[in-house]
Amino acid sequence: MRPAFDALSRYLNTQILGQPLLVERLLIALLADGHLLVEGPPGLAKTRAIKALAHGLEGDFQRVQFTPDMLPSDLTGSDIYHPEDGAFRFQRGPLFHNLILADEINRAPAKVQSALLEAMAEHQISVGNASYRLPQLFLVMATQNPIEQEGTYPLPEAQLDRFMLHTLVDYPDRATTLQIMALSRREAASAVELPPPPHPVSQDSVFAARREVLNLTLSDAVAEYIAALIEATHKPALYSATLAEWLRWGASPRAAIAIERCARARAWLQGRDYVSPEDVQAIAPDALRHRLLLDYGAQARGVTAQACVEELLNHVPAP
């Protein structure tokens, strides 16, 4: 399985220039059977990333632009009346695809967000009295624009917690920008955007890789380390007075599950059959960033969740 994913990773990095972290997090979310929240300014290939992943897999893709006037049925679908026989038939919405891009998710009202929450949490949607299962391979990548906040609906903690990872993307350097310009010229000249790879990864290969990821060796010491990191968010005074001053609410056991699953996926992608403390430390910022609530005073002083995670990793001893 691993050679197929190595080839997929190489393909994504040739199409998504300057964002190796985003590519890695996409593959980790795919292998860990989770969902990804990506935050960054416009124009940083967030949409292109999930489209490239869809090209690299044997699956279908749907982009949904979230707006304030959306209804839940715009996501789930609805029962449509057919006058020829007087019957209602369910018309499937865009959620019935393998890969979903929820663009600017914080622009949709709470009703729409709750419909997406059910899909992400239960792999099903409900319309009226009926429930409909979603595809077995189902991954949501949602994006947020940190620049514009007017006319947005901040995601509630319950919905944020359903995202396995919250990844931040930033601007590429000058050399990468030149490469992006050259890639854009080539695609414009050939009239082909995102050429597909020679051998897309099948869904069966994805499921087989997920089973291999779950069978990786996770030592008791590394498991204890993950549990200690989560405990430190509940009892920060035992580890750091600064952390106790900053944190108002800690992470749930779901965060521990996310760290373990993603650390396993990262180790598998790097060709190892065991999980190391470095895997946990690499994943912890993205797994905890959206699950920590800061004290109001800390927020007023400009303290970020990223600073909290760094303080956490500095004071919880690693094995």
* Interval 22-46: pLDDT, tens: 999 999 999 999 999 999 888 888 8
Longest C-alpha distance within the chain, in Å? 71
pTM, 2 dp: 0.91
Please state, in angstroms and as integers, the Cα–Cα distance from residue 157 to each residue in 43, 49, 79, 179, 299, following that order: 27, 26, 31, 38, 17
Q: Do 267 and 227 touch, CB atoms closer than 8 A?
A: no
Q: Do 37 and 167 touch, CB atoms closer than 8 A?
A: yes
Question: 3-class SS at 37?
Answer: strand
Confidence of residue 230 (pLDDT cuts 50, 70, 90): very high
Please state, in angstroms and as integers, the Cα–Cα distance from residue 287 to each residue in 21, 254, 260, 261, 290, following that order: 14, 10, 10, 10, 7
> Nearest to residue 252, comparing CAs of 231, 225, 281?
231
Q: What are phi and psi of 248, to 5 degrees?
A: -105, -30
Domains of the chain by residue range: 2-178, 209-312
Round to whole Å and give the CA distance between 236 and 70. Answer: 41
Residue 151 has pLDDT above 80, yes or no: no
* Interval 118-149: pLDDT, tens: 888 889 988 878 889 999 999 999 998 777 66
pLDDT of residue 264: 97
> Nearest to residue 233, comparing CAs of 217, 211, 212, 248?
248
Round to whole Å and give the CA distance between 272 and 265. Answer: 10
Per-chain mean pLDDT for the chain: 90
Q: Do 58 and 183 touch, CB atoms closer than 8 A?
A: no
2-178 under CATH 3.40.50.300, yes or no: yes
> Nearest to residue 2, comparing CAs of 263, 265, 230, 221?
265
Round to whole Å and give the CA distance between 52 and 109. Answer: 29
Q: Which CATH number fits domain 209-312: 3.10.20.30, 1.10.8.80, 3.40.50.1100, 3.90.550.10?
A: 1.10.8.80
Quote the distance between the C-alpha of residue 303 and its chain's center: 24
Please name the residues in contact with 43: beta carbons below 8 A apart, sequence gap of 6 or more.
none
* Interval 251-266: pLDDT, tens: 989 999 999 999 999 9
* Interval 7-19: pLDDT, tens: 999 999 999 999 9
